[in-house]
Amino acid sequence: MSDHGKIRELLALSAADALTRAEEEQVMNHLRTCPDCSAEVDRWRLLAAGMRRLPTPQPRPVIVERARAQAAIRLAEEAEHRWHRIVMMSVILFAWAMTLISWPVVKLVSGGILGMLDPGLNHAWIAFAIFTTIVWASGGAAAVFLSLQQRRERSLA
């Protein structure tokens, strides 16, 4: 493609201010010596100016107000979810802490101070481990069930 042809390809982008500085300089240099391209770029500039002057349609005020109300509700819901997550995490951490602390207590009660030093498992330990597992599994299942129910209710709302 000749220089003229290459420059002509750039004229629309020049009118859109979408060329690099080097490309723009190249176009400007060519325009000084080529009346044909100069007239062509003027036509592109008129079109670009027309595009920039298109009227701005506006949303109806009731729609803006509705968008604001819906977004405000969602902001409040998001804040509530974050708070729920914090509470849930705190409860879980507390429950784990209590569980871990209660193990040596059970061992102390079931075997005395010497029993705490005994690394072996006795019946009380095994019963406690089973009990803890059941409690945690039930709690986890309840939390998952409640979360799914809440999500379903939210999607229906």
Partner 1 sequence: MGLESEVAQLQRGDLDALSALLARYQNRLYRYLLRLVREPAEAEDLFQQTWVRVAEKIRQYDSKRNFEAWLFTVARNIAIDHLRRIRPESLDEPIPGMPGESPGTRLPSGERPVLDGIMDRERSGRLAQALELLPVSQREVLTLRFEEEMKLEEIADVIDAPLSTVKTRLRRGLDRLRNTLETNYPGEVWQ
Binding site for partner 1 (CB under 8 A): 9, 12-13, 15-16, 18, 43-44, 46-60, 63-64, 66-68, 70-72, 74-76, 78-79
Q: State the angle between helix axes of 35-52 and 21-33 in degrees (0 to 180), rounded to the nearest 10.
A: 130
**52 or 123: CB nearest partner 1:** 52
Whose Cβ is closer to partner 1: residue 15's or residue 27's? Answer: 15
Q: State the minimum distance, in angstroms, from the CB of residue 151 to partner 1.
A: 14
- Judged on CB neighbours under 10 Å (0-12, 13-18, 19+), 41 is buried
Residue 7, class by beta-carbon neighbours within 10 Å (0-12 exposed, 13-18 middle, 19+ buried)?
buried
**Which C-beta is closer to partner 1: that of 15 or that of 31?**
15
- Cβ 33 to partner 1 shortest distance, Å: 23
Is the distance from CB of 14 to CB of 24 less than 8 angstroms?
yes
The token duo for 143 is 């939390």
Shortest gap between Cβ of 91 and partner 1 (angstroms)? 23
Residue 59 vs 112, nearer CB to partner 1: 59
